[in-house]
Amino acid sequence: MDPEWVSVLFLISAVCGVSAYIPHRSHFVNESKTWTEAQSYCRQNYTDLVTITTMEEMKRLNATLKDKTRSFVWIGLDRGNTGKWLWSLADESFYRKGNTYRNWESGEPNNLLGIQYCVAMLKDTGTWNDERCDKPYTFVCFDKNKMNTDRYILINETKSWRDAQSYCREHHTDLASVRNQTENQQIWNFAKYSISLCVWIGLFNDSWKWSDQSTSSFRYWRSDQPDNVGGNENCAIVGMADQGQWQDVKCGTINPFICHAE
């Protein structure tokens, strides 16, 4: 069966804040394969399984695929062996190369019981703890269209980390990233007015990796995912019935998939 061609426009950040849309070809292949078989097919015929790097890309992909399938679709994300700390905002141009600013509370992160993968700022100190992602905290969003301290918005209602992330992406840009002590202080100034003892920021620990070795930290998991049922759900699918949100499933299940070409 021939693959169906999908045109997706990727937002590229240019100098002076000007953005340009550069066409990038992605290809929906309506054949059922395991994740590994899909990866091999894409590498043989195109470049690799698709990597998704921004919410804008995800929305365009959803709009294109909604009339082609209502099933699950493989993308190029699978689980690695080790986790690393990533920011929810996946715009690499936003961060200085090599930036590793952290403001951990003493003894943190400690991943208590092996289930603390999301980061919250303590409102009393401005330092950070790793926490269970399902805890209900207030949160700070970042809005790239605003200036200076106005770009930080305290949302004084409690949500899980993933629900907070979804809220920030829908109403602003993303959960707040912290690149230096000045930004940490600015965010802390808002956090002090939180109704909860902690506020979510955009840092999370993640062991998932892209097939093409992209370093993008963009993730679009459904709020209850990934859950790794049975300890062997190591590959990611787009659920078209879930507005394109992602789920983890066994890599040996069969689904259509999306390739991309340079």
Per-domain residue ranges of the chain: 4-80+217-260, 89-206
pLDDT at 2 over 70: no
Least confident of 20-34, 62-76, 95-109: 20-34
Q: Which stretches does DSSP call E strand in the chain?
A: 4-13, 19-33, 48-49, 72-87, 118-122, 128-131, 137-142, 152-159, 174-175, 198-210, 235-239, 245-249, 255-260
pLDDT tens, position by position, 193-232: 999 999 999 999 999 999 999 989 999 999 889 989 988 9
The vertex-178 CA angle with 190 and 140, nearest 5°, equals 35
Fold of domain 4-80+217-260: Mannose-Binding Protein A; Chain A (3.10.100)
| 93-to-6, 17, 90, 96, 247 alpha-carbon distances in Å | 26, 11, 9, 7, 28
pLDDT tens, position by position, 48-85: 999 999 999 999 988 888 888 878 999 999 998 878 99
